[in-house]
Amino acid sequence: MPSVRLEGVQKRYGDIHAADDLNLEVRDGEYLCLLGPTGAGKTTALRVVCGLTSLDSGKVFIDDKDVTDLEPERRGTALLSQTYSLFPQLTVAENILFGPDIHDLPEEERRRTLADMLDLVRLTKRPDAFPRELSGGMMQRTALARALASGAEVLLFDEPLRALDARLRISLRHELRSLAKSLKITVIHVTHDQDEALVMADRIGLIRNGHILQVGEPAQVYDNPISPFVANFVGQSNFVTGEIIDKGVKTTVKTESGMTVFARPCAMEVGEQVVVGVKIGNTEIAREGDSFFEGIVERVLFEGRNLHIDLLVEGTVHFSAKIPSWRLGKLASGDKVMIKWSPESASVFKMPEKGLREELRVE
C-alpha cells in the first residue's frame, strides 16, 4: 500500500498559481480529504499525482519512488472524475474489465476479477447494462470497481459525490470510506464540502491558492484552525478584531469598539493586533445575563434541528449563531440579545497582512 508525497510542486497557468509550493504527504492506506474552495488547486493536485498535469518544478513520489517523469499509465493511480467517465460504449462488465484487458490478463483471472468486483460493489445483477441505464450511485460504484480492477493502489477521487442527490450523497459517504478502508488502499479525496471531509477523512488537507494551509485530523482542523480562513471554511466562524490587553490562562482582547472578549491562551504578546474567531455553533446568545457585548437579531432562519440567527453587531461584518430550534418563537428580528462564548472555544490569530476581509474571501 503506497504512500504519496508531493514536494515543492509548482504549476502556473498564466497568472494563476494552480500549485504554489505544494507539499503534501499521504500515508499508506490513509483516507485523506483535500478540502478547499473552488479554484483552490484541488483538482490540479490530483492531476499532478496521477501524471495528467506536468509540473513546472517539484517532485512527486509514490511509495518513496520518484515518479515525476513517469507516464500516467505506469503509476497505478486511478482517477475517478466528477462525472465518473464511464465509457458510454461499453457495458458495466466491459468497463470494469478495461484495466485487465489493457494488461492482457489471462481469461481465468479476468473472470475472477470481474466476479469479485461485481460482488464488491453490489452490481452482480447488472453486468450487461450500459452506463446510461444506471442510477448515479450505480455509476459511481462501477467507476470504483473499474479503478480497483485496474490494479491501482492509490485512488484519486475528484468530488466523487457531487453529482448525486443530497440523501444518496450522505449514505454513500460511509460506504465509500469503509470500502477503501477494508481494501487498505490509499485515497486522496477532493471536495469543497466541509461536512463530507469531516465525516470521511482520516486527515484533512486544507488547500487554498495552490498551497496547503493545514493538514490534520478532522477534530484538530475544526477545533484548532491555523488561520481565520481555515476557521471559517471548516465550520463557519464569527470574528472580532482587536488588541491583546492581557494574557494568562485566557487571552483578553479589547476590540476597536471598546468591548472586551476572552479567548484561549495564545503565543502572541500583549499589544499585538489579533483576530478572535469562534465557531457560530459555539456562540451563545441570551435575552439577559452577563455578556461580552450586545447584538440585534436581524433574521431568524429555521433549519429543522437548529435555528440560524443573523445578528447585527457593531464593529463586525457578519455575525451569526446557531441555537437549538426549540427556542423558535422566543427570538424575533429586532430583539436585543446578549452575546458571549466560553473562552476555550475561541481561537486567536495574528492579524492577516492583507486584512481580515481579504483573508476570508472565497473566490
Partner 1 sequence: MARLERVLEFISRRSIRKGWLALVILFFLSFVIIPTIFVLTYAFTNWDAINSVVLSDPVKMTMITNAIINSFEIAGLVTLIDFMAGLPMAWIMVRKKFRGKALVDTLIDMPLVVPTAALGFSAALFWGIAPGDIVNPLGLGVVSSPLLLLILLHIVFSYPYMVRSLSAILEQIDQNYETAGRTLGASPLTAARTITLPLFRAGLVTGIILCLARSLSETGGTVIALATLSGSKGFNTGPTLIDGWKAIAQTTDPNYNAALAFVSILLIIIALVLMVLIRVVVKRVHLPMGKVWPRPEKLLSRGFFPKLKDSSTMVFLAVMVLLPSFFIFTCVFVFNPTSSGNWGGFGSSIIYSFTVAGVVTLVDLALGVPLALYIARGRSKRLPEVIDTMVNIPLIVPTAALGYSLSLFWVGGNAVNSDVGMLLVILAHIAFTYPLVVRNVTGAVEEVDPAFEETARTLGAKPIQAFRRVLLPMIKSSILAGAIMAFTRSLGETGATRAVVSNANTAPNFIVTLITKAPKDFYSAALACIILIAISYVLMLGLRYFTRRGKGAN
| Residue choice 104, 108, 269, 353 for contact with partner 1 (CB under 8 A) | 104
78 part of the interface to partner 1, by CB under 8 A: yes
- Distance between CA 269 and CA 360 in Å, rounded? 24
Shortest distance, position 101 Cβ to partner 1, whole Å: 8
Report, in Å, the least distance between residue 9 CB and partner 1.
18
Residue pair 276/263 in contact by the 8 Å Cβ criterion = yes
Question: Least distance from C-beta 153 to partner 1, angstroms?
Answer: 12
Q: Which residues contact 119 (CB under 8 A, 6 or more apart)?
A: none
Pairs from 95-98 (Cβ < 8 Å, separation ≥ 24): 95/131, 95/142, 95/143, 95/146, 96/142, 96/145, 96/146, 96/149, 97/149, 98/146, 98/149, 98/150
Query: Quick one: which of 15, 64, 71, 107 contacts partner 1 (CB under 8 A)?
Result: 71
Q: By CB under 8 A, is residue 99 in contact with partner 1?
A: yes
Near partner 1 by CB under 8 A: residue from 11, 110, 146, 189 = 146
Instruction: Tell whether residue 42 is a contact of partner 1 (CB under 8 A).
Output: no
Contacts of 109 (CB under 8 A, 6+ apart): 100
Under the binding rule (CB under 8 A), the answer on residue 88 touching partner 1 is yes
Q: Sign of dihedral through CA atoms 177, 135, 158, 195?
A: negative
**If binding is defined by CB under 8 A, does position 302 make contact with partner 1?**
no
The answer to whether residue 72 forms part of the interface with partner 1 (CB under 8 A) is yes
Compare residues 104 and 290 and give the one whose CB is closer to partner 1: 104
Q: CB–CB of 1/153 below 8 Å?
A: yes
Least Å from the CB of residue 41 to partner 1:
17
User: Site for partner 1 (CB under 8 A): which residue of 3, 85, 220, 325?
Assistant: 85
Q: Of 78 and 263, which has the nearer Cβ to partner 1?
A: 78
Q: State in Å, rounded, how far the first CA of the chain is from the last one.
A: 36
> Which of these ranges, 146-154, 166-174, 213-221, 253-261, lies near partner 1 under the rule CB under 8 A?
146-154
Q: Give the angle subtended at the CA of 270 by the CAs of 269 and 276, to the nearest 5°.
A: 85
| 152 part of the interface to partner 1, by CB under 8 A | yes
Does position 75 interact with partner 1 (CB under 8 A)? The reply is yes
Among 83, 171, 178, 273, which residue sits at the site for partner 1 (rule: CB under 8 A)? 83
Could you tell me if 184 and 29 are in contact, meaning their C-beta atoms sit under 8 angstroms apart? Answer: yes
In the complex with partner 1, the residue whose CB is nearer, 51 or 218, is 51
Comparison of 39 and 76: residue with beta carbon closer to partner 1 = 76
Strands of the 57-62 sheet, one edge to the other: 16-26, 4-13, 57-62, 65-66
106 binds partner 1 (CB under 8 A): no
DSSP string, 197-255: HHHH-SEEEEEETTEEEEEE-HHHHHHS-SSHHHHHHSS-EEEEEEEEEE-SSSEEEEE
Using CB under 8 A as the binding rule, whether residue 235 contacts partner 1 is answered as: no
Which of 131/218 has CB closer to partner 1?
Answer: 131
Which of the stretches 20-28, 133-141, 144-152, 235-243 binds partner 1 when contact is defined by CB under 8 A?
Answer: 144-152
The verdict on 187 binding partner 1 (CB under 8 A) reads no
Nearest to 149 by CA among 189, 95, 190: 95
Residues 6+ apart with CB under 8 A from 335: 287, 296, 297
Can you tell me whether residue 120 is helix, strand or coil? helix
With CB under 8 A as the contact rule, the residue among 80, 121, 240, 321 that binds partner 1 is 80
- Residue 52 found at the interface with partner 1 (CB under 8 A): yes
CA 36 to chain centre: 6
And the C-alpha cell for 96?
470494469
Closest distance of CB 47 from partner 1, Å? 8
Contacting residues toward partner 1, per CB under 8 A: 13, 50-52, 71-73, 75-83, 85, 87-89, 98-99, 101-104, 146-147, 150-152, 156
